[in-house]
Amino acid sequence: MSECKSLATPAAVTQSATPSTDEFENPTQYRRLVGALQYLTITRPDLSYAVNSLCQFMHTPTDEHWGLLKRVLRYVNGTQEYDLRITPSSSTDIHAYSDSDWAGCPIDRKSTSGYARTVARSSTEAEYKGLADVSAEVTWVVSLFRELGLHSGKPATLWCDNLGATYLAANPVFHARTKHVEIDYHFVRDKVASGDFIVSFVSTKDQLADIFTKPLPAPRFQTLRDKLNVVSQPP
């Protein structure tokens, strides 16, 4: 597909990956290409949502899934010079962005966060689960920074665009109304109470993790891609 017409985004806003009955004739080829794209997401986080959506159909890919995979390849073909740019920084303060697309799957109504898909009863629970996942990731990063002698000593800041989840992380009174939230989610509140984390609200338009949870229109996608520091670089 090196001569194919490129596209501005890896996933279409109007078409999502769904189960269907028309099985693709060469599932091995599908799995090989999706597996290769998984490695590419290490330096191309802009591909994360589209690739992980396709990974959910590894067992029995269909012709529709093959078409969605070819769309990702058309996007990659047009952005081969793009890569994750890492530059020196004078600050070692840690900031993390957490987001969740509540009940976004049209088939099973599951929610998608930056790290996992889970059934949630409310948008607050979906956002809070995403917050718990990113908390575990940041805890590892903080531990690594301390081991390397790079930690600033300041609490890490977690940004979330859901006020309910933000309040839930800091206000124990809310927990009486949300008993269906699993106990392990309160890992976040323990980190906040100990002073390791600060959970702050960020508006949806400034939510960088939005690109990990749903397909986006080209202008919005390209803006967030730039903010993730995935930029065109010389060979």
- On the question of pLDDT at 32 being above 90, the answer is yes
In 3-state terms, the chain is what percent helix, strand and coil (to 5)?
Answer: 45, 10, 40
- Which tokens go with 231? 């930029």
Q: Look at strands 117-118 and 111-113 and give their pairing.
A: antiparallel
- On the question of pLDDT at 124 being above 80, the answer is no
Q: What band does 119 get if pLDDT is binned at 50, 70 and 90? A: very low
pLDDT tens readout for residues 53-67 = 899 889 999 999 999
pLDDT tens readout for residues 136-147 = 888 998 999 899
Q: How far apart are CA 97 and CA 158, in angstroms?
A: 6
Backbone phi and psi for residue 30, each to the nearest 5 degrees, phi listed first: -60, -50
Among residues 162, 152, 174, the alpha carbon closest in space to that of 199 is found at 162
**Could you give the dihedral angle defined by the CA atoms of residues 56, 60, 66 and 67, in that order, rounded to the nearest 10 degrees?**
-80
Token pair 């996992």 in the structure block, residue: 116
* Domain extent listing, the chain: 1-80, 95-210
Query: Across the chain, what does the average pLDDT equal?
Result: 83
